[in-house]
Amino acid sequence: MYTARLYRPWPRRFLHVPLALRLAICCISIPISILLMLPGTSYLYDGTLMMLPIALSSWAFGKRGTLINLLSYLVVASIFYLATQHSLLWSWKMLWTMLDDTLAMLAVGATVVSLRTTLTMEEEARRKAEEMERQALQVSEQQRQFHQIKTQFIINVNHELRTPLAAAYGYFEMMQLIMEQSNTLDSSTNMDYIKHALRYCEDLRSMVNNVLDTMDIDCEHKPSQSKHALLVQLVRDICENTDTVHREKQRIQLMIANNLLIFANPYYVRDILYQLLTNAIKFSPETSPIVISAELLTASNEVRISVRDQGPGIPADEIPQLFNQFVRLQRDIAGKVRGAGLGLYICKHMVEAMHGRIWVESNDQAEQGSCFIFTLPHLNLPPLVENSQHSANTLADQRSVLVSTIKQ
């Protein structure tokens, strides 16, 4: 592949010299050529040395250089003849010499301009070929990455969907076998089977929803329907109404002001919190706390929400790719934790759709855990709403921060 750094002969490099320098070189070459051919003559010589400046000007500036140099030559020749012959009338010999020189200079200029045009077209064709080759390489690389992503997606979905599906099917098949043998089901014994089956069904539904949400994000046709919402209520809804989170609610601690309002899509916020909470539950020790906190950033009028766990942390070199599609940590690919690598990708796009940001802070140390943080626009209450809330609650209740474990 040709590149711009390939060696060029000096005539072609001369075309890339700054304009002022090229113009100066061409202007200086004319008087130098004249001074070289004038000594020892009483009239203008045959003009052979004038081929150099016109060739140089034609190469540097094309047709314009040829015409300007030719006019300069005629003016200088006329001044020289007038100074040496003291007459405005030119002899036939002088006229013939001037005509001959002019035609020769025109021929040289036309030849140089034609050569310059040919080389310029060749260089342009080479540049276009380089650009087409570069674009072909980009397309090839994009196709390779797409194929890799598709292959990884098929592998993930094939494994992650089969596992909960097979487990749920196994529990239901076991209950069917018990029912066929004893014609009844013991609620105390078989209730565990049902709970396990439902848990795997929930995992299966979560992964299917992630795939569908990813397709919806890629279509980019569904705008965020933002409205005011009470953040602490959204968090409590997730903790109380989602089985995966509800089973671990004793571990979850809130540090959120009771009256903190956000301007966001409630469905998106619930989905983001669900993804972050389920990840924290899966990757942290069973008895370790999970802290959800929120604070108001008055400078940017945003609400900063964080989910902190005490899991194994995330390697620093894998953090930049963490919010991409189908990305899973190397240690988790062969581990027991299931996932398609779509949850954080969906979170990122949902947060950005609500004009927020999301990132993670982790130091990859045992029991130091990770802290996923995202921001959402804050909703300023109108004065009337603030007064009504002030009359319903005391000032201490409004400014207090809830630090509690979610309990019934």
Task: Give me the pLDDT at residue 371, please.
Answer: 93
Query: 292, 317 in Cβ contact below 8 A?
Result: no
d(Cα 37, Cα 33) in Å, to the nearest integer? 7
Backbone conformation region of residue 233, classed left if phi is above 0, alpha if psi is from -120 to 50, else beta: alpha
358 pLDDT higher than 80? yes
| pLDDT for the residue 377 | 92
The better pLDDT of the pair 202, 143 is held by 143
Q: Do domains 152-219 and 227-405 have the same CATH topology?
A: no
Q: Report the alpha-carbon distance of residue 119 to residue 257 in Å, rounded.
A: 73
* Mean pLDDT on 364-376: 83
What pLDDT band is residue 182 in, cutting at 50, 70 and 90?
Answer: confident
The Cα–Cα gap between 261 and 229 comes to 6
Lowest mean pLDDT among 63-67, 152-156, 384-388: 384-388
The order of strands in the sheet holding 370-377 is 358-362, 370-377, 302-308, 290-297, 252-257, 401-405
CATH of domain 152-219: 1.10.287
- Distance, in Å, from the CA atom of 402 to the CA atom of 242, rounded to the nearest integer, reads 22
pLDDT winner (highest mean) among 196-200, 262-266, 394-398: 262-266
pLDDT in tens, 307-342: 999 888 888 888 888 888 777 776 666 656 666 677
Q: What three-state secondary structure class fits 307? A: strand
Mean pLDDT value across the chain? 75
Strand intervals (E) in 172-281:
227-230, 252-257, 261-264
Work out the average pLDDT over 268-273: 89
Of 68-82, 115-129, 152-166, 348-362, where does mean pLDDT reach its minimum?
152-166
Length, in residues, of the chain: 408
Name the one residue in this structure whose structure tokens are 């081929």. Answer: 51
Reported as a single tens digit per residue, the pLDDT across 271-305 is 899 889 888 888 888 888 899 999 999 898 999 99
Helices (H), 15-91: 19-37, 51-61, 63-85
At 46, the pLDDT band (50, 70, 90 cuts) reads: low
What is the fold of 227-405? Heat Shock Protein 90 (3.30.565)
Do the Cβ atoms of 85 and 43 come closer than 8 Å? yes
What's the token pair of residue 395? 């000032």
* Domain spans, the chain: 10-140, 152-219, 227-405
CA distance linking residue 264 with residue 230, whole number of Å: 10
Report how far residue 326's alpha carbon sits from residue 223's, in angstroms, rounded to the nearest whole number. Answer: 24
What pLDDT score does 389 carry?
Answer: 44
Task: Summarize pLDDT for 191-248 with one digit per residue, the tens.
Answer: 777 777 776 677 677 667 666 666 565 555 555 678 888 999 999 888 876 666 667 7
> Cα(330)–Cα(336) distance, rounded to whole angstroms?
12
For the record, the structure tokens of 254 come out as: 């809130």
Is residue 78 pLDDT above 80, yes or no? Answer: no
Task: With cut-offs at 50, 70 and 90, classify the pLDDT of residue 373.
Answer: very high
